[in-house]
């Protein structure tokens, strides 16, 4: 057991080191210079040099890499080249948009998909099931940015119920904030809800075939009663796993949607920073994302091992 | 069920309609680009000036809406007879937003900072001729130049030459403290910047209580924001194709003004085969300007035949010299030794004029046998490969600096035009202060680059702004990248 | 040596949805193939005066902002999408399959561990951001879009191949093959691969459809095939600012993406049910 943990922690450590190297090296070879981006086409060579020096870009690569890593270890993610603000502050500002958006989308997709999945499972094989499943197939196939464009066309340009983009900020009130996140959340939720509904349906059908449901029905419960009393709870485990996966996808995967709706979220921060060659921001944000995924995977693995004795014996 | 549907029809518009009845004393301005930071003296980004110029920061001189130079913080100035010494008299009672007084020391600090060896001023060249800045008294500064400079007062009007205080310089990038009629209030990064009225302004106070600059880079979002009246003014509206809809809507007004952006097909003059004048001439005749203006700018733009703004008094129309004539173009190519044309690159930066214009130009050049490989670049890549690396055949860029024909006198500049004769003309022009002489030199310069077909001269961009019909006082023209709000108000 | 049969013990028919999917994909492929020799109009010639025309007899799906025929552009654009997604799947199989096979054959060893950690590493990176970075380094273009999408296909196939192969290795017939003196490599080629092929085909279909979506996303943000080569994603990006005046520019290319991806997903699901009837109905 201990040996397992030690091995996992060592690999975790190496994964992070390799990830940091990969990120650093790829951003070193990316063509384009932050100083000349900032100073534009009339800048003189000595001015560029002065700015590079001010930003610390003239130091040797190895030194900059070590400084970056050292900073991260003590929670200092550097200062943005273009905005001159600490990266960690910028990230936490952006998280106030990205996090609520992801949660909003997730709630929407869960609220839509679970009833739909249950409904389809209860009516499996019937026309209603087939048509619901057909709709979810389409939902998976729709590119979310295209769906977003259609939503903007309908709700912002024709009906003018929502604004087509931008974020009012939370200080303008919870309602306005949620309102500006509504269309983006719907666009993000559609494919997720479709996937989730399918998972819910199939996992429910699997559960319905299990013995304890059969017992329950033998005791006189109707199929729907059995489904509600015993089936749903048991079918939720795979659904929760998928929801967990979708959450991390929604955090990093909203880039395009954030761009369509012009939301000041994490995705757009990265996108902008790449264009502006604000390398330190790109590096640190990607590293944070990688770190969170790696840590979550690690914790989940460890939790499984602790909970499930069968897994424990197989790895020891 | 029916009832519920009805209820929804009533409730939804109620909930989502904006409050249209409040009297407005604030203004929301839509801009396409967000400033990277708020120091106009420390970056090239035009977005900084669009928010802060004349609103928060002021210079000794400033641009008026027609592009002329008028007094700013300096109420007047004397020029020595040899044109090398300027004595500026500052306005009395000017206070920074933090309450401190503006005096001659701040002017010395600002100018010395901009021309210092380790400056990060993007337009250091503006200050190149200054040899000394001397404080005469609290409100008097003497600036000495190495030689007369006809552009000096014009240079001082740039956003890069605004007066800043030594005390607040450290945090200027996040918290700009200037002397203007508006005070910087708040910046929600990625979304907006808020300004509020400066009650202690030294000059005519602003009519608005506050202004919000909202950053909307996406054209369809810009359209929707205007339509929903979330935004009252959209400066440099990004999608000319949608202007028709605003023109037909009485709630809005479309302002079509002049802009300093000469949009050109920049040509690498040192590269084969563009080092051959005949090839460059063939290129010029292969281009149908009107088709580009129609296709890429939806008709908004003025054809130009040289690198000069048509609204400038010294402009001469040389478009006739490069008329669209594909047959002549093919003939010229054959004479130059390319009867079957050749292949070259066309590297395009992100703006729509370049991307859309590029596709049209590529198809026009294909007609005369020039095969063009398009590659779309981000600005950072464009600066590295094209501007600094000179690794390109053709590119499309709008040169937005006012009065920038002088770039043709710099042989190391990215299109690499190296003409001693032209350099002499610009040198004379800079030293010349007599207006009549200056005009004739400007005309000479325009002709020379047109005769040499240095670049393909496409069109002068139009300054397209969409405003709420009740908003008055917005500049129609754009002599510099600024959104001067000093005299903007709502009409009841 | 490569003779094999799909494992299909029960008599089992392909579902209706499979055939519908096949029809969708067939139509799109056919349009793409025809575009190699013929399109209604030339997609590189611009006729500005004809722009923003809605669907009509002369332009079935209307024209775009340069007066180009949208049907012609969709045909060529579909060709680009399919090519990019297909090659990206190819990259995934070419690198991922051997990695997964070797990892399975040498299960529990350092190499196996290395492959799995490599998978974790790639999965830990946010895919779209890395794709944007790759194109920022290499420059935009169809070829670099292929690389960006292909890289993320490698761990997918490695994982599927490894998982499926591990199950096979524990089966008796493999033991028999081992006893008869066959080496690991030979067993992998002769026995394991044919037996996990079903799963690989299903996975390839899924990755193919994901690849189409990814290509659309990349070219939507301007990182896919460069003009004048039409691409569905860029058509959508171009249409975005004009959606209020010419909604048909946005609707048709998007529908083609949906039809292609939907078709591939239906095929994938149909094949999975066909190969493994136990899974029928679950997704």
Residue B245's closest chain C neighbor by CA? Answer: C245
Is B402 found in the same domain as B266? Answer: yes
Subunits that touch chain A (at least 3 Cβ pairs < 8 angstroms)?
B, C
In a domain, B199, yes or no: yes
Alpha carbon distance B71, B141 (integer Å): 15
Q: Sign of the C-alpha dihedral, residues C237, C243, C246, C248? A: positive
Chain centroid to CA C152: 12
Tell me which chain A residues have a C-beta less than 8 angstroms from the C-beta of B43.
38-40
Q: CA end-to-end span of chain C, whole Å?
A: 33
So what's the pLDDT on residue A15?
86
Residue A40 has a CB neighbour count (10 Å cut-off) of 17
A205-214, A290-299, B401-410: the lowest-pLDDT one: A205-214
In a domain, A144, yes or no: yes
Residue A190 vs residues A105, A137, C228: alpha-carbon distances, Å:
9, 11, 33
Closest approach of chain A CAs to the CA of C8, in angstroms? Answer: 22
CATH topology of domain C62-282: MetI-like fold (1.10.3720)
Cross-chain residue pair A199–C283, CB shorter than 8 Å: yes
Alpha carbon distance C31, C78 (integer Å): 8
**Which residues of chain C are under the pLDDT cut of 70?**
1-12, 277-283
So what's the pLDDT on residue C6?
47
Tell me which chain A residues have a C-beta less than 8 angstroms from the C-beta of B19.
none
Alpha carbon distance C14, C270 (integer Å): 6
Residue B210 vs residues A176, B26, B485: alpha-carbon distances, Å:
21, 5, 10
So what's the pLDDT on residue B326?
94
Closest approach of chain C CAs to the CA of A220, in angstroms? Answer: 27
Q: Could you tell me if A268 lies within 8 Å of chain B, comparing CB atoms?
A: yes
Which 3 state secondary structure label does DSSP give B186? strand
Q: φ and ψ at C119, to 5 degrees?
A: -60, -50
Cross-chain residue pair B294–C141, CB shorter than 8 Å: no
Total domains present in chain B: 3
Radius of gyration of chain C from Cα atoms?
22
Cross-chain residue pair A38–B228, CB shorter than 8 Å: no
Alpha carbon distance C204, C207 (integer Å): 5
pLDDT tens track for B11-28: 444 444 444 445 688 999
Question: Which of B168, B200, B234 is where one domain is finished?
Answer: B168
Closest approach of chain B CAs to the CA of A103, in angstroms? Answer: 20
Tell me which chain A residues have a C-beta less than 8 angstroms from the C-beta of B217.
262
Closest approach of chain A CAs to the CA of B411, in angstroms? Answer: 14
Q: Where residue B397 sits, what CATH number does that domain have?
A: 3.10.105.10
Residue C229's closest chain B neighbor by CA? Answer: B374
Is B314 found in the same domain as B227? Answer: no
Higher pLDDT, A312 or C93: C93
Among residues of chain B, what percentage have pLDDT more than 70? 95
In a domain, B364, yes or no: yes
Subunits that touch chain B (at least 3 Cβ pairs < 8 angstroms)?
A, C
Is A147 found in the same domain as A63? Answer: no
A51-65, B11-25, B287-301: the lowest-pLDDT one: B11-25
Tell me which chain B residues have a C-beta less than 8 angstroms from the C-beta of A259.
218
What ipTM is given for this predicted complex? 0.87
Alpha carbon distance A109, A194 (integer Å): 8
Range of A201-205, A238-242, A250-254, B173-177 with top mean pLDDT: B173-177
Give the B:C interface size as CB pairs under 8 Å.
Answer: 68
**Is it the case that residue A168 has pLDDT exceeding 50?**
yes
Is A182 found in the same domain as A142? Answer: yes
So what's the pLDDT on residue B334?
95
Kind and range of the H or E run holding B264? strand B252-267
**Is it the case that residue A20 has pLDDT exceeding 90?**
yes
Residues 177 through 206 of chain A touching chain B, CB cutoff 8 Å: 179
Cross-chain residue pair C258–A143, CB shorter than 8 Å: yes
What value does the mean pLDDT take over residues B178-206? 91
Asked whether B36 and A82 are in contact (CB, 8 A), the reply is yes
* Domain ranges for chain C: 62-282
**Is it the case that residue B439 has pLDDT exceeding 90?**
yes
Q: Which of A30, A149, A157 has the highest number of chain C CBs within 10 A, making it the mutation to test binding with C?
A: A149
**Is it the case that residue B61 has pLDDT exceeding 80?**
yes
Structure tokens at B145: 């130049």
Residues 105 through 164 of chain A touching chain B, CB cutoff 8 Å: 149, 152, 156-157, 160-164
Q: Where residue B194 sits, what CATH number does that domain have?
A: 3.40.190.10
Entry field: residues in chain A: 316
In a domain, B439, yes or no: yes
Q: Could you tell me if B228 lies within 8 Å of chain A, comparing CB atoms?
A: yes
| B420 confidence band (pLDDT: 50, 70, 90) | very high
Cross-chain residue pair A19–C247, CB shorter than 8 Å: no
Average pLDDT, chain B: 89
In a domain, B125, yes or no: yes
Tell me which chain B residues have a C-beta less than 8 angstroms from the C-beta of A265.
190
Tell me which chain B residues have a C-beta less than 8 angstroms from the C-beta of C236.
none
**Is it the case that residue B298 has pLDDT exceeding 60?**
yes
So what's the pLDDT on residue A253?
64
Closest approach of chain B CAs to the CA of C27, in angstroms? Answer: 30
B13-27, B100-114, B371-385: the lowest-pLDDT one: B13-27
Is B127 found in the same domain as B104? Answer: yes
Task: Quote the domain boundaries for residue A257.
Answer: 96-264
Of A137, A157, A294, the CB nearest to C266: A137
Kind and range of the H or E run holding B356? helix B352-367
Total domains present in chain A: 2
So what's the pLDDT on residue A298?
80
In a domain, B40, yes or no: no
In a domain, A302, yes or no: no
Strands (E) in B168-209, as ranges, are: 182-188, 192-197
Chain centroid to CA A192: 12
Residues with Cβ within 8 Å of residue B188, at least 6 apart in sequence: A93, A169, A264
In a domain, A35, yes or no: yes
Tell me which chain A residues have a C-beta less than 8 angstroms from the C-beta of C133.
26-27, 30, 274, 282
In the 8-state DSSP scheme, what is residue C170? T
**Burial (CB count <10 Å: 0-12, 13-18, 19+), residue A63:** exposed
Cross-chain residue pair A26–C125, CB shorter than 8 Å: no
B470, HSE (Cβ side, Cα atoms, 13 Å): 13
So what's the pLDDT on residue A176?
86
Q: Could you tell me if A76 lies within 8 Å of chain B, comparing CB atoms?
A: no
Task: Quote the domain boundaries for residue B84.
Answer: 58-168
Question: Which of B135, B168, B201 is where one domain is finished?
Answer: B168
Entry field: residues in chain B: 492
Of A32, A163, A262, the CB nearest to B217: A262
Q: Which of A31, A141, A192 has the highest number of chain C CBs within 10 A, making it the mutation to test binding with C?
A: A141
Alpha carbon distance C12, B178 (integer Å): 79
In the 8-state DSSP scheme, what is residue C67? S
Task: Indicate whether this model's pTM tops 0.90.
Answer: no
Of A82, A260, A274, the CB nearest to B37: A82
Alpha carbon distance C264, B204 (integer Å): 68
Asked whether C155 and C241 are in contact (CB, 8 A), the reply is no
Tell me which chain C residues have a C-beta less than 8 angstroms from the C-beta of A201.
283
Is B485 found in the same domain as B442? Answer: no
Question: Which of B128, B153, B168 is where one domain is finished?
Answer: B168
Cross-chain residue pair C228–B362, CB shorter than 8 Å: yes
Of B223, B363, B375, the CB nearest to C244: B223
Radius of gyration of chain A from Cα atoms?
24
In a domain, A295, yes or no: no
Is A123 found in the same domain as A35? Answer: no
In a domain, B150, yes or no: yes
Tell me which chain A residues have a C-beta less than 8 angstroms from the C-beta of B225.
163-166
Of A15, A138, A260, the CB nearest to C121: A15
So what's the pLDDT on residue B102?
93
Q: Which of A21, A27, A28, A145 has the highest number of chain C CBs within 10 A, making it the mutation to test binding with C?
A: A145
Tell me which chain A residues have a C-beta less than 8 angstroms from the C-beta of C239.
149
pLDDT tens track for A118-128: 899 888 888 99
Cross-chain residue pair A289–C126, CB shorter than 8 Å: yes
So what's the pLDDT on residue C129?
83
Alpha carbon distance B105, B113 (integer Å): 12
Alpha carbon distance B303, B283 (integer Å): 16
Higher pLDDT, A112 or C127: A112
Of A83, A163, A276, the CB nearest to B228: A163
Residue A64 vs residues A34, A70, A79, B340: alpha-carbon distances, Å:
15, 10, 13, 52
Radius of gyration of chain B from Cα atoms?
25
| A252 confidence band (pLDDT: 50, 70, 90) | low
So what's the pLDDT on residue B67?
82
Cross-chain residue pair C124–A153, CB shorter than 8 Å: no
Of A15, A137, A152, the CB nearest to C117: A15
Is A6 found in the same domain as A68? Answer: yes
Is B370 found in the same domain as B351? Answer: yes
Cross-chain residue pair C262–A138, CB shorter than 8 Å: yes
Residue A171's closest chain B neighbor by CA? Answer: B188
Cross-chain residue pair C227–B291, CB shorter than 8 Å: no
Is B86 found in the same domain as B139? Answer: yes
Is B441 found in the same domain as B352? Answer: yes
Cross-chain residue pair C226–B376, CB shorter than 8 Å: yes
Alpha carbon distance A78, A84 (integer Å): 10
Tell me which chain A residues have a C-beta less than 8 angstroms from the C-beta of C206.
none
Question: Which of A223, A243, A264 is where one domain is finished?
Answer: A264
Is B365 found in the same domain as B244? Answer: no
**Is it the case that residue B10 has pLDDT exceeding 50?**
no
Alpha carbon distance B193, B185 (integer Å): 8
Is A115 found in the same domain as A31? Answer: no
Closest approach of chain C CAs to the CA of A254, in angstroms? Answer: 9
Alpha carbon distance C18, C271 (integer Å): 7
Q: Could you tell me if C140 lies within 8 Å of chain B, comparing CB atoms?
A: yes
Kind and range of the H or E run holding A216? helix A211-218
Of C17, C133, C258, the CB nearest to A142: C258
């Amino acid at each position: 057991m201990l040996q397992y943990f030690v091995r996992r922690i060592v690999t975790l450590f190496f994964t992070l080191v390799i990830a940091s190297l990969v990120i650093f090296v790829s951003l070193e070879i990316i063509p384009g210079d932050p100083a000349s981006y900032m100073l534009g086409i009339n800048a003189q060579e000595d001015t560029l040099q002065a700015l590079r020096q001010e930003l610390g870009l003239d130091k040797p690569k190895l030194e900059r890499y070590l400084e970056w890593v050292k900073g991260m270890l003590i929670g200092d993610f550097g200062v943005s080249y273009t905005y001159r603000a600490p990266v960690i502050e910028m990230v936490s500002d952006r998280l106030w948009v990205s996090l609520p958006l992801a949660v909003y989308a997730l709630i929407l997709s869960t609220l839509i998909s679970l009833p739909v999945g249950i409904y389809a499972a209860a009516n499996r094989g019937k026309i209603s099931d087939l048509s619901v499943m057909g709709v979810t197939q389409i939902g998976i196939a729709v590119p979310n940015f295209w769906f977003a464009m259609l939503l903007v066309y309908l709700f912002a340009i024709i009906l003018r119920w929502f604004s087509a983009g931008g974020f009012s900020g939370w200080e303008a009130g919870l309602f306005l904030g949620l309102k500006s996140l509504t269309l983006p959340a719907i666009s993000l939720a559609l494919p997720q809800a479709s996937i989730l509904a399918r998972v819910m349906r199939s996992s429910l059908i699997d559960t319905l075939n299990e013995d304890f449901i059969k017992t329950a029905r033998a005791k006189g419960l109707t199929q729907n009663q059995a489904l509600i009393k015993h089936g749903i709870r048991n079918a939720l485990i795979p659904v929760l796993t998928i929801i967990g996966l979708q959450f991390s996808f929604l955090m990093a995967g909203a880039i395009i949607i954030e761009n369509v709706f012009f939301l000041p979220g994490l995705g757009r921060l990265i996108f902008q920073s790449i264009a502006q060659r604000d390398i330190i921001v790109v590096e640190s944000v990607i590293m944070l994302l990688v770190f969170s995924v790696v840590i979550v995977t690690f914790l989940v693995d460890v939790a499984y091992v602790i909970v499930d004795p069968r897994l424990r014996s197989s790895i020891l | 069920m029916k009832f519920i549907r009805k209820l929804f029809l009533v409730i939804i518009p109620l909930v989502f309609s904006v409050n249209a009845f409040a009297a407005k004393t604030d203004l929301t301005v839509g801009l396409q680009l967000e400033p990277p930071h708020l120091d106009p003296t420390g970056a090239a980004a035009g977005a900084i000036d669009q928010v802060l110029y004349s609103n928060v920061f002021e210079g000794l001189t400033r641009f008026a809406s027609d592009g002329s130079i008028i007094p700013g913080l300096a109420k007047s100035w004397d020029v020595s007879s040899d044109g090398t010494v300027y004595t500026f008299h500052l306005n009395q009672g000017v206070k920074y937003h933090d309450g401190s007084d503006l005096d001659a020391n701040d002017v010395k600090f600002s100018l010395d900072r901009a021309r210092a060896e380790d400056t990060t001023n993007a337009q250091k060249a503006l200050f190149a001729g200054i040899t000394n800045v001397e404080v005469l008294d609290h409100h008097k500064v003497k600036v000495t130049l190495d030689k007369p400079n006809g552009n000096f007062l014009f240079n001082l009007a740039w956003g890069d030459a605004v007066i800043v205080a030594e005390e607040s310089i450290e945090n200027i990038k996040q918290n700009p403290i200037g002397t203007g009629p508006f005070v910087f209030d708040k910046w929600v990064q990625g979304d907006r910047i808020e300004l509020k009225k400066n009650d202690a302004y030294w000059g005519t106070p602003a009519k608005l209580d506050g202004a919000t600059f909202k950053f909307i880079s996406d054209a369809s979002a810009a359209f929707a924001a205007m339509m929903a009246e979330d935004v009252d003014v959209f400066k440099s509206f990004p999608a000319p194709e949608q202007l028709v809809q605003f023109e037909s809507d009485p709630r809005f007004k479309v302002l079509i003004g002049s802009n300093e952006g000469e949009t050109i097909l920049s040509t690498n003059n040192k590269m084969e085969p563009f080092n051959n004048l005949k090839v460059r001439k063939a290129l010029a005749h292969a281009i149908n300007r009107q088709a580009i203006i129609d296709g890429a700018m939806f008709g908004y733009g003025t054809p130009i035949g040289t690198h000069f703004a048509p609204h400038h008094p010294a402009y001469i129309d040389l478009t006739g010299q490069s008329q669209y004539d594909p047959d002549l173009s093919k003939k010229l190519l054959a004479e130059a030794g390319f009867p079957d044309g050749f292949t070259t690159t066309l590297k395009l930066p992100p703006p729509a004029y370049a991307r859309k214009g590029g596709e049209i130009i590529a198809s026009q050049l294909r007609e005369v046998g020039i095969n063009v490989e398009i590659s779309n670049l981000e600005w950072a890549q464009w600066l590295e490969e094209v501007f600094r690396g000179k690794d390109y055949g053709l590119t499309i860029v709008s040169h937005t600096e006012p009065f920038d024909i002088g770039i043709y006198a710099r042989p190391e500049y990215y299109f690499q035009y190296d003409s001693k004769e032209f350099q002499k003309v610009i040198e004379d022009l800079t030293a010349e202060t007599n207006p009549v002489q200056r005009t004739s030199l400007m005309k000479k310069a325009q002709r020379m680059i047109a005769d040499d077909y240095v670049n393909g001269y496409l069109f002068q961009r139009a300054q397209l702004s969409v405003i709420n019909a009740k908003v008055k006082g917005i500049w129609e023209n754009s002599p510099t990248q600024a959104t001067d709000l000093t005299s903007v108000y709502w009409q009841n | 040596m490569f003779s094999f049969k799909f494992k299909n013990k029960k008599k089992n028919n392909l579902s209706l949805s499979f055939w519908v999917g096949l029809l969708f994909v067939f139509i799109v492929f056919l349009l793409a193939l025809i575009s190699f020799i013929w399109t209604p109009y030339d997609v590189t010639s611009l006729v500005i005066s004809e722009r923003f025309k809605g669907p009509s007899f002369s332009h079935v799906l209307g024209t775009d902002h340069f007066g180009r025929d949208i049907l012609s552009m969709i045909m060529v654009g579909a060709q680009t999408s399919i090519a990019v997604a297909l090659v990206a799947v190819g990259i995934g199989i070419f690198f991922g399959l051997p990695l997964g096979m070797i990892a399975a054959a040498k299960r529990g060893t350092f190499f196996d561990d290395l492959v799995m950690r490599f998978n974790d590493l790639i999965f830990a990176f946010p895919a779209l951001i890395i794709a944007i970075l790759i194109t920022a380094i290499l420059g935009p273009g169809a070829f670099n879009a292929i690389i960006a999408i292909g890289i993320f296909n490698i761990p997918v196939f490695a994982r599927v191949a490894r998982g499926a192969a591990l199950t096979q290795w524990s089966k008796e017939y493999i033991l028999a093959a081992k006893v008869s003196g066959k080496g690991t490599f030979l067993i992998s080629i002769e026995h394991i691969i044919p037996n996990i092929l079903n799963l690989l085909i299903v996975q390839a279909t899924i990755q193919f459809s994901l690849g189409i979506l990814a290509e659309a996303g990349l070219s939507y943000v301007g990182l896919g095939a460069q003009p004048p080569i039409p691409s569905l994603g860029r058509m959508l990006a171009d249409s975005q600012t004009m959606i209020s005046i010419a909604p048909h520019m946005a609707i048709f290319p998007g529908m083609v993406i949906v039809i292609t991806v939907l078709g591939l997903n239906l095929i994938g699901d149909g094949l999975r049910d066909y190969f493994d009837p136990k899974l029928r109905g679950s997704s």
